[in-house]
Amino acid sequence: MKKILSLIAIGVSALLSGCASNQYAVTFDTNPQGATLVCNGKNFGYTPVKLYYDKKNITSSTMNVSNCKATWVSGTSQSYPYNLNVYETGGTSIILPRPNVAGYSQDAEFALKVKNMKANQQSAAAQQSSNNSSYQNNNTVQCQKMGEFINVEIKTFQGMVCPLGWLKKY
């Protein structure tokens, strides 16, 4: 009993110590949304995008994010600012406004398409998660008694493995 309590205490303390994050969360957004975010030459997809930065690499309350650039579908682009205030407790968010140049309606229309695409992806992920949980709750296997060829006995068992003396029915 003491061993079990000790293991539980160790598990709880490991979980709690894992909650202290060693990263800053920075959400890059644009107005209108749906611009492609590229940082240091790497494409991170359509805004809004949340990136995580290691705290040990940030030496002050600001960080340089000018290496990140937003490009809207119209071809208009803008770099993020040199100094971004970062907040350790609640994450940081920055919204980059689109420059006032031609092509806004094209970018706004694309923003709606991106918003719908992301909503569909979230819906599909939720459906997949639901399907997986249903599968896990109902995963059964049909098994046939070994050595029987006439009047074959078939049973359904929980889990994905037939017990000893039974073969999986295909």
Q: pLDDT per residue over 95-111, tens digit each?
A: 999 999 999 999 999 99
pLDDT in tens, 17-58: 344 467 788 899 999 999 999 999 999 999 999 988 887 767
Q: In terms of DSSP H, where are the helices of 83-165?
A: 104-137
Q: What is the pLDDT of residue 25?
A: 85
pTM check: above 0.85: no
Q: What is the pLDDT of residue 4?
A: 43
Q: Which residue has the higher pLDDT, 162 or 88?
A: 162
37 half-sphere exposure, CB direction, 13 A CA radius = 25
Q: What is the pLDDT of residue 41?
A: 93
As beta bridge partners, residue 85 has 62
Run of H or E including 94: strand 92-97
Rg of the chain (C-alpha set) = 27
CA 112 to chain centre: 21
pLDDT in tens, 143-169: 877 765 666 778 887 777 787 777 777
Strands (E), 4-76: 23-31, 36-39, 42-46, 49-54, 62-63, 68-71
Q: Is the pLDDT of residue 128 over 90?
A: no
Eight-class DSSP state of 55 = G
Q: Is the pLDDT of residue 10 over 50?
A: no
User: Band of the pLDDT at 68, cuts 50, 70, 90?
Assistant: very high
